[in-house]
Structure 1
Amino acid sequence: MQVGNARYISATDLPDSLPVFPLTGALLLPAGQLPLNIFEPRYLEMFDHALRGNRLIGMIQPSLVEPLELEPGLPALSKMGCIGRITSYAETGDGRYILSLSGICRFRFLEEVKTSLPFRQAKISPFIADLNSAQEEDSVDREKLLATFRSYLEANKLEADWESVQRASNLTLVNSLSMMSPFGPAEKQALLEAPDLRARADTLIAITEIHLARGFGDPDTVLQ
């Protein structure tokens, strides 16, 4: 997989530890693009640190099953996140970064790394199979996925750029729709933890159908 000017082909291309950014409700997936607005001092320092190095950050949600804090202000982390590479950034002039993370592969959170730095770091085990997830594209039921997406748009009186949708690969389509979906943290984590691309597509279809059946068509609910 090529992300920006870097190529990630095998385990040797990825670190076994990296800074992690806990953010509830945020979902990054391989080949996806996650925009971020960074303003907290500790996270500004984290991104400065990453920019001086390999530009890699681990996006992860606080644990949804272990709400206990390890220390004040340090919630337990979920067991899985996604490695992202900073592929674009801009300084705003008022102390913020506007940047984009490009998803590389998911990782298993192993343990926290003790550090004197103000941000958190973790030992990880990358999902190397994600580097070749394009090989799974033919397993996706694209027709059903698009039909469900169309139903969601109609229920919420939204429109889409169908020309761009039709051009998108199955990998881009599944992961982008999963990331843009307006679902809650638990559902986002389920999409992240789906074992493969087909399972993620099936999970996205199932979640969307459940919400539509419950009258999810809320005009104030839009794709992010």
Structure 2
Amino acid sequence: MMRAADLPGVIPVFPLPGALLLPRARLPLHLFEPRYLAMLDDVLKTPHRLIGMVQPDPNPRAAQEDAPPPLHSIGCAGRVTQFSETEDGRYMITLAGISRFRVTEEVGGFCPYRRVKPSWEGFDRDLARSEKDTGFKRESFLDLLSRYFQAKSLDTDWETLKEADDEMLINSLSMLLSFDPEEKQALLEAPSLSTRRETLVTLIEYALRGGDDHGLLQ
């Protein structure tokens, strides 16, 4: 388990709309752009091997002319735990979620990928053991999820879902279900597991009511 003292003062970031990484969860990624191959090469030389997953901010008021797309203020750093190279030079990697962070500023310089100075303050629970959701009513939640999967013509291993602990179940669904980037951001920024579960339930119920997948959490 990584300690707060081990968290670096600068990390590279991978701005990817709709990609959500949460603490203690795992995210597979496919890297093929030269700048991100360079990023991986540099990251593997560090003791922490952290990459920050952060979504671009779609707010046009935050954009500046001739500048890269602005970033959301909160992302999640993951440690590279697995990687493999394909025959054509691409990489498949797995990030293990370590801690969320707040972007304090972007670091300039002659670097092909983007880097930021993160603030890790306020995310102490991310470095602790898995969270519990004392208000979680699993049976009614799985019933709601079943109706959602049926409406979306999705299939899953229900026995695995029934046996998963609260955090793994809620976080995995938050990462895997098809929500728009701003809804994913709301799930990331939820301060606790219970508030993430409440947000997840709201999104699922909205979809079942025939929501258009846009505008719910703006």
Q: Do the structures match in fold with TM over 0.5?
A: yes
2:82 matched to which residue of 1? 88
Query: Which of 130, 134, 143 does residue 138 from structure 1 map onto?
Result: 134
Cα distance in 1 for partners of 2:15, 2:53 equals: 6
- Change in Cα spacing, 1:175 to 1:140, as seen in structure 2 (3 Å) is same
- SS at structure 1 position matched to 2:44: helix
1:38 matched to which residue of 2? 31
Equivalent positions of 1:45-56 (< 5 A) are 45-53=38-46, 54-56=48-50
Query: Which of 8, 21, 26 does residue 28 from structure 1 map onto?
Result: 21
Letter in 2 for 1:11: A
1:161 matched to which residue of 2? 157
Gaps of 5+ in 2: 213-218
Cα distance in 1 for partners of 2:9, 2:83 equals: 25
Cα distance in 2 for partners of 1:178, 1:146 equals: 14
TM-score (norm 1): 0.87
Cα RMSD of the aligned pairs, angstroms, is 1.8
By how many angstroms is 1:150 displaced?
1.1
Pair 1:198-2:194 in alignment? yes
Cα distance in 2 for partners of 1:73, 1:40 equals: 20
Cα distance in 2 for partners of 1:58, 1:71 equals: 24
Cα distance in 2 for partners of 1:61, 1:141 equals: 31
Cα distance in 1 for partners of 2:35, 2:81 equals: 20
Cα distance in 1 for partners of 2:77, 2:115 equals: 12
TM-score (norm 2): 0.89
Cα distance in 2 for partners of 1:120, 1:67 equals: 21
How many aligned positions are there? 209
Cα distance in 1 for partners of 2:53, 2:90 equals: 19
Cα distance in 1 for partners of 2:105, 2:149 equals: 41
- Change in Cα spacing, 1:32 to 1:139, as seen in structure 2 (3 Å) is same
Cα distance in 2 for partners of 1:133, 1:208 equals: 27
Is the contact between residue 145 and residue 201 of structure 1 (CA under 8 Å) also seen in structure 2? no
Pair 1:15-2:26 in alignment? no
Pair 1:115-2:117 in alignment? no
By how many angstroms is 1:159 displaced?
2.3
Matched residues, percent identical?
47
